[in-house]
Amino acid sequence: MSEISMNTASGVEGATAQSQLRDVPAVRMEAVYKHYGDFTALDQVDLKVAKGEKIVVCGPSGSGKSTLIRCINHIEKHDEGLIYVNGVELDHQRKNIDAVRRDTGMVFQSFNLFPHMTVLENCILAPMTVNGMSEAEAKDLAMHFLTKVRIPDQAEKFPGQLSGGQQQRVAIARALCMRPKIMLFDEPTSALDPEMVKEVLETMKKLAEEGMTMLCVTHEMGFAREVADRIVFMNEGKVVEQAAPEEFFQHPKSERARTFLDQIIH
């Protein structure tokens, strides 16, 4: 159990070696481009995320938010530029991709739980097949994180039997079972009924409080204000603005960000 009770956050141990590691950003993107045919989905994106930092990515639909976040764990291949995750370069080499994916967890808008497996089976599959854990160990670990997202009692159910909010919390627990150092969220509450948004955001806040490095694409501006260290605003594949939440909400620099905020805050 000692491994389980260990904090998921990186950098909280406070050793000197750790502080040196801290200088390596969690994510570093330099002049990253991504094309779909003639269309440029990421247009010279530069982004640096420090360890423990919480970033909220926002912007109009089609601005490249999902593409950005999906390039970080190589679910989308970037075409040009450099991406480093915890110092590992994503250069399309298998071993580096694997290393990066082991360091990152991802939560999708549509949950993407495996519908033919129970909640518990969803959670133990990767720890057992990737990390070679025994079933008992993996189950302990899974129950630990299911308890953390407050649905240990649903472990034996199938995803289809749960509400959207519960499914998304399972998806978060499933990702945490791989003990990622960085969590990527792509509009985790957009597919939820309004009354379930809160429970998922609460779970994410808790994770943030524990020091997890987080990149969240979300339009939940309340969450952004409360949790984000920095807002990254995207438009047409470009990072247009980066600022602390207060700054961004009160004094958006670009016209595009102003109109976006007007629409979203109404």
Is the Cβ of residue 42 or residue 171 nearer to another protein in the bound state?
A: 171
Is the Cβ of residue 237 or residue 245 nearer to ligand ADP in the bound state?
A: 237
How many chain residues interact with another protein (CB under 8 A)? 31
Residue-wise burial string across 25-57, b where 16 or more C-beta atoms lie within 10 A, e elsewhere:
bbbbbeebebeeeeebbbbebebebbbbbbbbb
Q: Is residue 101 a contact residue for another protein (CB under 8 A)?
A: yes
Q: Is residue 218 a contact residue for ligand ADP (CB under 6 A)?
A: no
Task: Indicate if the alpha-carbon torsion angle 69, 113, 193, 224 is positive or negative.
Answer: negative
Is the Cβ of residue 66 or residue 166 nearer to Mg ion in the bound state?
A: 66
β-pairing, 230-235 vs 238-243, is antiparallel
CB-based contact 166:202 (threshold 8 Å):
no
Is the Cβ of residue 74 or residue 78 nearer to another protein in the bound state?
A: 74
* Stretch of residues binding Mg ion (CB under 5 A), selected from 21-29, 64-72, 197-205, 208-216: 64-72
Q: Is residue 61 a contact residue for ligand ADP (CB under 6 A)?
A: yes
CB-based contact 72:215 (threshold 8 Å):
yes
CB 23, min distance to another protein, A: 26
Give Cα separations from 149 to 114, 162, 211 (angstroms).
Answer: 18, 14, 16
Site string for ligand ADP, 21-60 (x = CB under 6 A): ---------------x--x-x-----------------x-
Is the Cβ of residue 128 or residue 234 nearer to Mg ion in the bound state?
A: 234
Measured distance CA(251)–CA(263) in Å, rounded: 16
Q: Which of 80, 87, 114, 193 binds another protein (CB under 8 A)?
A: 114
Is the Cβ of residue 4 or residue 126 nearer to another protein in the bound state?
A: 126
Q: Which of 8, 10, 63, 66 binds Mg ion (CB under 5 A)?
A: 66
The option from ligand ADP, Mg ion, another protein, none interacting with 36 (CB < 5 to 8 A, set by class) reads: ligand ADP
Q: Is residue 8 a contact residue for Mg ion (CB under 5 A)?
A: no
CB-based contact 55:216 (threshold 8 Å):
yes
Task: Check residue 181 and report its DSSP letter.
Answer: S
Give Cα separations from 216 to 70, 129, 143, 230, 255 (angstroms).
Answer: 11, 28, 25, 11, 23
Q: Is residue 215 a contact residue for ligand ADP (CB under 6 A)?
A: no
Q: Which residues contact 53 (CB under 8 A, 6 or more apart)?
A: 26, 213, 214, 229, 230
Site string for ligand ADP, 76-115 (x = CB under 6 A): ----------------------------------------
Give Cα separations from 250 to 242, 244, 253, 254, 258 (angstroms).
Answer: 13, 10, 9, 12, 9
Residues that bind ligand ADP (CB under 6 A): 36, 39, 41, 59, 61-67
